[in-house]
Amino acid sequence: MAEILQYVHKDGLFHRLTPFSKILLIIVVAVMCVLATGIPFLLLLVAALIVLACASNLHRELFGQLKLLLVMSVIFIVITVLTMPNGLAIGTVIPQGVPVIGGAIPVTAGAVMIGIVLALRFVVLIFAFQLFLISTQPRDLVHALDRLHMPVDYILMFIIALRFIPTLQIEGTRIHEAQLARGYNPGTGLLGKVRSVHPIVVPLVSNALLRSTVLGLTIDMRGYRTGTRTRVRERLLGTADYVTITGLFVVAAGFATVALVAPVLVF
């Protein structure tokens, strides 16, 4: 089973960068995608991240999440269309021919555009975070956040949150299988998913709570919170990092210039 947002042991461009460079990349990308509202520019960001992933041999992991991203994007667009009517109506959700309620819930061009922008921003942020997390060992992340003077308890909380993703994934599958083996047939589709909530979520949450207790005690009993750490195998900034950081400054400056000189290209 492919694990979501977990470190993948590979040797590629992203793996060679220190967490600092990658954190900076996330900041630059996040700022640009939040400020920009132009669909072509956001598509350019998506394309750039895909090129980076291909160059870093991480494209398979990135594309593994496409289905989830597609579903989420559609949900964004639908919610926007339903809640933020704006501009010219290009159709209606309920066809005109339906008696009484025909023509209700207009689909407006402005809402669709906003929905697409939101979906693209979401894709950019997820791609950027995913590239960061699947190429960074938690130990390196601990070192980097420690250097940035983040309190150790917050660092550990972040690491635990990440660490619980595969546990819940694997545990959820096992519980699902255990219930199927008891003749449980919740059906397929959304209704099936809703029906299966009780027999799967109850054991999943109960087991996760027990596990989190042991995990918390393990962290204490291994002395991770003592704060006196020997820095070993710490990743230092290398040529690839200097090139990346310089490149990011150039991109950020370029974005600012374009935004001021030719805003139509990004907004």
Partner 1 sequence: MIELSEVSYTYPHTVQEALHQLSLVLEKGRCIMVTGPSGAGKTTLCLAASGILAHEYGGKKAGVVTINGKNVADYPGLSAIAQTLGIVFDDAEAQMIFTTVEEEILSALEYRGLSPEEIEKRLSEILEVTYLTALKDRSPHHLSGGQKQRVALAATLALGNDVLILDEPTSELDEYATRQIVSILKNLKDQGKTLLIIEHKFGHFREIIDTLVIMEHGAISTIGAPDEVLKDNRIRKMVIPDFAGIRSGTAPAVPTGRTVSAIDIRHLSFSYGDVPALHEVNLIIGPGEFVAIVGENGSGKTTLIRQFNRLLTPTAGDVLVNGKNTRECTIAELARDVGLVFQNPDHMFFADTVKDEVAFGLKNLDIGNRDAVIDAALTEAGLLHAKDLYPRWLSRGERQRLAIACVVAMQPKIIVLDEPTTGLDGDEARLIMEILKKHQLRGNTVVVITHNREIARDCADRIIVMDQGHVLSDTRVRGVG
Residues that bind partner 1 (CB under 8 A): 3, 6-7, 9, 137-139, 142, 159-160, 163, 166-167, 170-171, 174-175, 177-185, 198-200, 202-203, 206-207, 210-212, 214-215, 217-226, 228-233
Closer residue to partner 1, CB minimum distance, 97 or 183: 183
Q: Which is nearer to partner 1, 147 or 229 (CB)?
A: 229
Q: What does DSSP assign to residue 265? A: G
Contact 53, 62 (CB under 8 A): yes
User: What's the gap between Cα 157 and its chain centre?
Assistant: 18
Of 60 and 257, nearer to partner 1 (C-beta) is 60
Let me know the angle formed at the C-alpha of 60 by 57 and 66, rounded to the nearest 5 degrees. 135
CB of 158: closest distance to partner 1 in angstroms? 12
Shortest Å distance, C-beta 28 to partner 1: 26
- Those residues with Cβ within 8 angstroms of residue 29's Cβ, 6 or more apart along the chain or in another chain: 45, 49, 124, 125, 128
Counting beta carbons within 10 angstroms of the beta carbon of residue 45, is it exposed (0 to 12), middle (13 to 18) or buried (19 or more)? buried
The nearer residue to partner 1, 107 or 171, going by C-beta atoms, is 171
Q: Which is nearer to partner 1, 37 or 171 (CB)?
A: 171
Tokens for 88?
Answer: 């010219």
